[in-house]
Every structure is written in C-alpha cells, then in structure tokens.
Structure 1
Amino acid sequence: MAIDRRNFLKGAAATSVTAMLPLNWAFASNRPAGIEPMDVSAVKWKSVDDLPSHFKVLNSSPLNAFPPEHLLAPVKTPADVAFIRWNGKMPEFDKIDPDTWEFTVDGESIETPKTYTIAELKKKFKTHTQQLVLECGGNSRENFYPNAKGNQWSNTAVFCAEWTGVLIKDVLADCGVKSDAVYTAHYGADKHISGKGAAISRGVPIDAAMNENGMIAWGMNGEDIPYMHGYPLRIVFGGRPGSVSQKCATGMGVRDRVHDGKKMGAPAYQVPKYPVAPGEKVDNKDFKIIEEMIVKSLITAPQTGSELALGKTLSVSGHAWAGMRDVAKVEVSYDYGTTWQTAALTKPVNPTAWQQWNIDLKLPQAGYFEIWARATDTKGDTQPMVQPQWNPKGYLFNGCHRVAVRVV
C-alpha cells in the first residue's frame, strides 16, 4: 500500500492547547514541553462552539472531535484534550440537577430492581478511583485502505483518565443477579439526533460486569465529570469498546439474552466472523460483537515533523495498552522495521490502565527517518507493521504508529 507522506506529515503544525493560565500554577517549570494548564472552562463545554482550536471536529451533530497526538502525553489525560464522541443529541446540561439524578438497576435477570441517587451510591458502596482506558472501536479508522465507513478518526480517539465512583459488581450484588443473566444493558440521556428514542444502548457480557473493575463514576480527574464526557454519571468499562461506557447514565439492565438495544445489531461495533478481503461486502449475519479492545501503542513525543541536530539524542515516548490484558513489551524502530530496540515500560497502575514507555535513540546520519512503535501483550499478540485485518466498519486498527523526524 502506498504511503502518502504529505498527509503523514500534516500533523507537524498541530497547535498547543489554548488554555486559561492559573494565577499560581504550581510546579509550572516541571511541565513537559508543549503541555499547557488544563482549560478550566472544559468542565462546562456544551457545544462545538466551545471547543478550542486544537480539536479536529469530524461532525458537529452529533459532536465528534479529537486532539493532536502530542497532547495525549500526560499519564492521566486532561479533560480538555480527551476525544469527544456523541452518538446523538446532548442533554440540556444546565437543567441537570445531580442531587435528583437517579440510576436504576432492573431487567429480566435482576432479583430486586432498585433506584439510587448519586448520594445513595456514595453512601451505600465503597468509593474507588481508577485509571481506565476508553478507546473508540473505530480509533485510527482513517488508516484503513480502502477507506471504511464511519467517522475518520486519527490515532487519538483514546484516552486514560482517572475515574471515581463505585464498582458495578457491588451495585449488581446489592440488587441480586439471577442465574440466567447473560448481558447488561446500558441506558443514558444520549438521545437520537431526531430527539426520538435512544441514540445508543449497548452492554457487556454479565461475566464482565460481575468480575471486572467497571464503574458507575461521578468523578473524572478529581472533579465532577465534564459535560462533554458524561455528566453527572457515566458507566465506565476500561479495555472494552468506548461505546459501552454510557454517558449521562440513567441505569443498567441485566438481561437474560444478549442485549438488543440501539447499536447492538450488526454491523455496528462488530467485525466479520472470518477474514475478508479489503473492500469485500459482508452479510449482517456474518458479524460478531467486539467485546474487547486489542494491543496498541501511541507515540506522543516527538511530534511528527520534528527536526533534530545530527549527533543529538532523540527521546521517544508514549503509551501502550492491550484491552483487558497488560502490555509485556514495547519496541521502537527507525529503519522501517529492519531492527527493533526495546523501550523501558511501566506497569499499569491498575487493570486496564495504559502503560508508559520511553527510549533514547541515536539516529545514525542526516536525513529523513520514521520512528515506529509496536507493543506486544502478555499473551504474545503484537501490533502488525502494516494494515491489520480489514473490516467493513473500520474497527480495531492497530498497525504500528509512526512519526516523521528529520536529522539536520
């Protein structure tokens, strides 16, 4: 497949965050290059007009937008750079009263349906704080060839914020789950763009809800969840398609069958059951649900298009994640995959958090180089150097991320 290097380099001029500088910005001298303080107004952004210029807007109705890669450098993604993905109309946030907001647990396979206010969730259950990766199933879709249908996300429809709330498994245990339970159903105030019906209502296998660290969260990075990210409650499942992390969550059902809500049917968030040729048409009956995300990495430094003086050390760093698994290794190449060097890699702070990696390189001569990164998970799955298995909706692209550097 031919590489369009003009498009490859187009991110070089990405702007930094336009932010409101605090009067007393503690430890400002320690900030990484290119990182500005969080825009405190981000908590109450409620339309495309509120977004700063560093976001690339794919659609305004429903709103979908993503940041440049280098702004994802922080371990905990700030709210003002996290990608934004809505499936329908956003609620009237100014009219939401968190004191009266309710979360209902019901469904065919719940023994005792119950409704909780946010205050009751806080009082009745243990509070947990975790860093969890949320990644759109279509992250990096623009890299598929031939193009696949859907929002043409670059590589930054992913973030890892710190979420505060209660564990879903604790709440379900309080209600009682019947032995015939199969799937959860997630409900929220994300209405269809027409204003009629739900825009999305997805779920996860019951084993995931009962045995993993999924949350009903009210906090993001130590503050109330910002409007754009699901205020005042969000269902959050790290390591699974971001579409199951329902924003403005109003409840969860426990079903005695695979949930049949909006965007649960093929081909939404599904891939073919068997390998298909690029561009091949697939009947809806031949799709399967994406339950987990897969191994992937992102280079956040240097920015693509950077220049480096010959003889100077190039510091390369970024994140890696692998759905429900941990990342075991990250490797970097500057010679198109001919040789690879192993980067230093941190352990995740908790399950389904992303991991940080870094390496110093000495590029051997003046000229144009591409820095490639690939991650390998704990079961041995490694990112492909080229396009992964093509699928009609462009999900799960995890080819090696690369950035361009010129040595002068």
Structure 2
Amino acid sequence: MNGNEDFWKLNRRRLLGLASTVSLASLLPRPSFAGNSSASAALDEMPHSDRRLVRLPEKTSLIQLADRPPQLETPLHYFRQDLTPNEAFFVRWHLSGYPTHVDTRTFRLRLDGQVAKPQSFTLQDLVNDFEPATMVAMNQCSGNARSLFTGPTPAGLQWQFGGMGNAQWTGVRLKDLLDRAGVKAGAVEVAFSGLDESPMPGLPKIVKSLKFDHANAGDVMVAYAMNGTALPMLNGFPLRLVVPGWYATYWIKSLAHIEVLDKRLSNIWMDEAYRIPDNTEISEEPGKLAPRTVPINRFATHSLFVRPEPEEALLVNHPYMLEGLANDGGDGIARVEVSLDGGRTWTDAKLDPEIGRYSWRRWRFVWTPTQKGRYTLKVRATNRAGEGQLTSQWNRGGLARRVIEQTTGMVI
C-alpha cells in the first residue's frame, strides 16, 4: 500500500463524511459587519489589547485578536516544535462569511478559464488520481509582528510573533492540475478563490492571483492534509492553496475555484490591499510614503527568539540554551548571529539541520550570564542570497517585518 492509499483510508471519514458530523456552524456564531458599510473598514480590524485566550472547535487555547471573524494567534511556546500542531496553528479570516460547514459529498474544486478542458474535481479525485506531493513549509500572516513596528501604529490586527506556523503539507501539485486541464496559449495569471463570501455589497469576494509561470513551476500545491491529517475547518478545510515562501494572503483557504487568466487580475485584494513599498528595505517614512507599491510577495529574511520568552528570569552563572527560528523566501538561511550586549558585538549561533527549503530553520546558542541585572539579547539572520535584517523599518501596512529582534528580562 502506498502513502496515498494510507492517507485515503485513514481520512476517508474526515474528508467525505463531515456532512454527517457536528459542524462549526453549530458551535460558532455567524458574525457580521453590522453597522459598517465601508469596504475599507472591513480590511482594518480594530486591535485588541487584552490578548485573552479562547478555545474554538478543533483548536487549543489561542490568543484572540478579534472574534468577527475569529483571528487567533499562536502562543510563542508552540514554536519550540519544528511542526506547529494543527490545534495550535494560527487562524486568520478576512470576511465574516467564512465557511463553518462543508458537505464533502457535493464539494467540487473547479478549474476553468483559459484551458482546453475545464475540470471539476471531487476530493476523492484529488487523492486517488494524482501523485501526492509533500513538503514542509512555513505559513505566515503578512502582518505578523505588526504590533512591534516603531512609529505610528499601522492599522490592522496587532500580531506579536504568533501569526505564523510550520507544517507538513500534503496534496496535489498545482502544475499537475493545470496539465490535466490543458492550459491554452497566452495564459498570464492563475486566480484563486475559496468558499468564504463577503458580507457586504461594497467589498468583493477575495480573489488572489499568481503569475502563470510561478503557479506552474511545481512548488505551489493544493493541500488536502496538514501534518498528516485533514485540515482543521478554521485553517481552510477541505483544501488550501500552499504558496511556499510567500505570505499567507496567497494561501487561499477552503479553495474552491482556480481560473487561468489571459490578463492581469485587477481587484481590491491585488490593487489596494496587501501592498508594500517597492524597495529592498520594504520601508518608508510616515511623512514621506513610498510613491510606488507592489503586491506583497516573498517572505523577508527574519529571525526571532522562542526561548527565553519576554521578561523570563534567568539564573546567574547557569548555562541557558537560547533558541529561536529564522526564515526567508526559499534561498535558505546561511547564518544566524546573536548579540549578548545589545547589538555591539555578534557571535554565530548553531543552526539545526534544514527540514525543508521553505521551512523555518531553528538556531541555538548556549549563554551563561555572569552578572545579575537586566539583559537585552538580539538576533539577526542572513540568507544564502545575502539578504539580512534591518535596524529599523516602518511601512503603512505593518507588513513583511524584517527588523533585528530582541528579547529582554532579568538575570537573578
């Protein structure tokens, strides 16, 4: 029995029988944007400052940033595992019309547009008729760590570091689906949309696109499994687009429609939302905004601490294993350096083996503090393309953070 057959037998009930089980619709409220008729307001959620823990179906206790629709941040300690557990994986929906129930007996993934043979795939078609692809890839919200930007607070959810996760994804290569449909000459982009719907007439349904060559290169995947089991409903059951090395705005959840286009997609989600300054630093000044922006795309090179946690007390003259994560857009992390003196000097950390081109990479550094008092530790990463981190950065969206990070606490 091959791995594909194993997966299908283990998950048949989960994938095809969900209609007969309890759905999220019976457990979660159906929120709305009552009293808000502005499309732009729906894009800029009010920040929550209490960061309280909540527990929703299929999820452990996560930090709630908003509840209409649910926006949940992963606590930092889960990042001490190479793969983020499904129940702890962050949740980010844009529209209150998110799916809370999927009848897998009638669900179809449509593929049409500039193709010779439009397709309509059942879940069983995807699992049985295509060679499975598996990869470990990090998924990250475009605004991860937005709350840490120095300067005017950018509008949007005020994430700390928990708007990310690392998982093993299994599914079908998008290239294989496009080959089955027979793409016509002149294809320019491929557009993607899910089962979520806009609650307001003024805000269009979310549709995102990739250049055709990127979509057809072989890495982009339609995933039906996450860490060896079906996706949680809140993370996009039954199918999710995986765009490794790119921010999560392209990772369409509850994927239901793929359309091959002969021209560039133009809508609010590509032309106005999730755009970054068109410069290497991804930075601008509050009083002098960048004159040109582009849609957000590849991950910026970045690193952070997962141990010690903020304000953790350490013991003087006792060795302590500093630990953290570094990521980039797929070139690979070449070096991580740690500063024990607030950034004056830097020392190389030890890198764990790579577990995937698009996975985060763990780093470690043993430190024995020799004096009591406040400590400030900093970390910076450099990838194989020579891209590193900045001492300062700001942009109007609080997107694609690539600042050198620090953690502080007491040595006692």
- TM-score where L is the length of structure 1: 0.82
Per mean C-alpha deviation after superposition, the further-off stretch among 254-263 and 81-90 is: 254-263
* 1:189-228 correspondence to structure 2 within 5 Å: 189-194=195-200, 198-228=204-234
Residue 254 of structure 1: which of 254, 260, 265 is its match?
A: 260
Matched, 1:374 2:394: no
- Residues of 1 paired with 2:355 and 2:283: CA distance? 37
- Measure how far apart 1:197 and its partner are: 7.0
| Partner-residue secondary structure (3-state), 1:101 | coil
Q: What one-letter code is carried by the residue in structure 1 that aligns with 2:395?
A: N
8 Å Cα contact 2:74-2:164 kept in structure 1: no
State the Cα distance separating 1:237 from its structure 2 match.
1.0
Q: Residue 78 of structure 2: which of 71, 77, 81 is its match?
A: 71
Structure 2 residue corresponding to 1:391, chosen from 378, 381, 395: 395
Query: Contact 1:185 / 1:261 at 8 angstroms: preserved in 2?
Result: no
Find 1:312's aligned residue among 299, 307, 318: 318
**How far apart, CA to CA, are the structure 2 residues paired with 1:195 and 1:160?**
35
Inter-partner Cα distance in structure 1 for 2:168 and 2:201: 31
What's the CA shift for 1:230? 0.3
For residue 382 of structure 1, report the CA deviation from its aligned partner. Answer: 0.8
| Residue in structure 2 matched with residue 296 of structure 1 by the alignment | 302
Contact persistence 1:333–1:340 (CA under 8 A): yes
State the partner residue of 2:94: 87
Task: Give the counterpart of 2:120 among 101, 115, 126.
Answer: 115
Partner of residue 403, structure 1: 407
Q: Give the Å deviation of 1:91.
A: 4.1
- TM-score w.r.t. the length of structure 2 is 0.81
Secondary structure, aligned partner of 2:86 = coil
How many residue pairs are counted as aligned between the two chains? Answer: 360
Shift, 1:115, TM fit: 1.1
Distance 1:276 1:247, change over 3 A: closer
- The 8 Å contact of residues 372 and 411 in structure 2, kept in 1 or not, is answered as yes
Per-residue CA deviation, residues 337-382 of structure 1 (Å, 9 max, x unaligned), is: 1111211113432221111111111223111112211111111111
- The correspondence of residues 227-238 of structure 1 with structure 2, limited to 5 A, is 227-238=233-244
2:55 is the counterpart of 1:55:
no
Alpha-carbon separation, structure 2, partners of 1:168 and 1:277 = 35
Which residue of structure 1 aligns with residue 357 of structure 2? 351
- Between the aligned partners of 1:407 and 1:307, the Cα distance in structure 2 is 6
Q: Is the 8 A contact 1:333 1:339 kept in 2?
A: yes
**Contact 2:315–2:369 at 8 Å: present in 1 too?**
no
Contact 1:271 1:393 in 2 (8 A): yes
Identical pairs, percent? 28
Tell me the secondary structure at the aligned position of residue 202 of structure 1.
strand
Conservation of the 8 A alpha-carbon contact between 1:163 and 1:219: yes
Asked if 1 retains the 8 angstrom alpha-carbon contact of 2:55 and 2:61, the reply is: no
Cα distance in 2 for partners of 1:350, 1:176 equals: 30
1:75 Cα offset (Å):
0.3
Counterpart code for 2:70 = L
Q: Are the counterparts in 2 of residues 200 and 263 from structure 1 also a CA contact under 8 Å?
A: yes
Q: Distance in 1 between matches of 2:60 and 2:201?
A: 29
Counterparts in 2 of 1:89 and 1:178: CA distance versus 1, 3 Å: same
Q: Distance in 1 between matches of 2:24 and 2:303?
A: 30
Residue 396 of structure 1 aligns with an amino acid whose one-letter code is A
Give the letter for the 2:193 counterpart.
Answer: Y
